[in-house]
């Protein structure tokens, strides 16, 4: 595994993540239209049960999202997103010992979920939506910045790069600089290469192969490829049959130094992480 080039203690609200090792983040979509599990966990009790099951399986973070960002997805109103997400964040905070990540770009959701117990802001738009950066600064929470061009509605309309890894790195470096200038501590920034966002299959595979180049940015990497179309296209599998491909990529991401794996299949991914860690720690 690539050694950490940054301080490994990440305060997340009232909890701390130890980034000397890889963590598994369980996905909890509170949406009717997410590509994999849309609608399954829209009700509070079902969402809380699923979150508890993921924590029991070894997840140290739960990523709660109320706005689908699948290709072609349309935005929802801030009020609708807040009504979906806030009760779930509050319930998880009260019931479970886990870092709550909120998958949002919406200032009102950032502020309110931080008040309710969220420990991490995970924004696919890298805090570029109007007011999002100020809201994130006000919370004092760590943030995850992801690479994406455009919006989910149009990000897959013939994305082009002259230097894929260089352009992804430059984008993330620029967003980091803007966040730091606004008042976010550099040590509270996590980076996500954005697999599946404004990238073709070839882009995704090449970026994954050369992911270690992103360690030059000096921040921990979050990788989310669970059940995504890059697996389906390579293996010719529907969403429900992409587990083995996802586990292969999880193993590769961990070996390349990723510190957070964002996944649907928590128990299986935790086994992968534990097995690799056991080999790496052997004499």
Whether pTM > 0.95 for this model: the answer is no
Give 130-164 pLDDT, tens digit per residue. 999 999 999 999 999 999 987 766 657 678 899 99
Contacts of 203 (CB under 8 A, 6+ apart): 159, 161, 164
Residue 57 pLDDT? 98
Catalytic residue ranges: 228, 262
Residue 76 pLDDT? 85
Is residue 3 pLDDT above 90, yes or no?
Answer: no
Over residues 199-207, mean pLDDT: 96
Give 55-75 pLDDT, tens digit per residue. 999 999 999 999 877 766 677
Dmax (CA) of the chain? 54
Q: In the chain, where are the structural domains located?
A: 12-280
Give 177-192 pLDDT, tens digit per residue. 999 999 999 999 999 9
Q: Domain spanning 12-280: which superfamily?
A: Dihydropteroate synthase-like (3.20.20.20)
Residue 118 pLDDT? 98
């Amino acid at each position: 595994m690539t050694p950490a080039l940054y301080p490994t203690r990440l305060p997340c609200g009232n909890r701390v993540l130890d980034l000397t090792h890889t963590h598994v983040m369980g996905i909890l979509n509170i949406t009717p239209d997410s590509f994999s599990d849309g609608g399954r966990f829209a009700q509070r009790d079902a969402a809380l049960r699923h979150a508890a099951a993921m924590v029991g399986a070894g997840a140290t973070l739960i990523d709660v999202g109320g706005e689908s960002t699948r290709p072609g997805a349309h935005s929802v109103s801030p009020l609708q997103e807040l009504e979906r997400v806030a009760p779930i964040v509050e319930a998880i905070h009260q019931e479970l010992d886990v870092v709550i990540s909120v998958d949002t770009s919406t200032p009102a959701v950032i502020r309110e979920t931080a008040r309710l117990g969220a420990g991490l802001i995970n924004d696919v738009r890298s805090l570029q939506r109007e007011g999002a950066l100020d809201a994130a600064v006000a919370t004092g929470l760590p943030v995850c910045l992801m690479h994406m061009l455009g919006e989910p509605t149009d990000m897959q309309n013939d994305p082009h790069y002259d230097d894929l890894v260089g352009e992804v790195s430059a984008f993330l470096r620029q967003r980091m600089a803007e966040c730091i200038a606004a008042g976010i501590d550099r040590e509270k920034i996590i980076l996500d290469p954005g697999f599946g966002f404004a990238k073709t299959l070839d882009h995704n595979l090449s970026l994954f192969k050369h992911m270690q180049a992103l360690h030059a940015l000096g921040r921990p990497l979050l990788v989310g490829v669970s059940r995504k179309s890059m697996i389906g296209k390579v293996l010719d599998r529907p969403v429900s049959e992409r587990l083995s491909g996802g586990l292969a990529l999880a193993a590769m991401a961990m070996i390349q130094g990723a510190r957070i794996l964002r996944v649907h299949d928590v128990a299986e991914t935790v086994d992968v992480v534990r097995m690799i860690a056991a080999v790496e720690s052997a004499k």
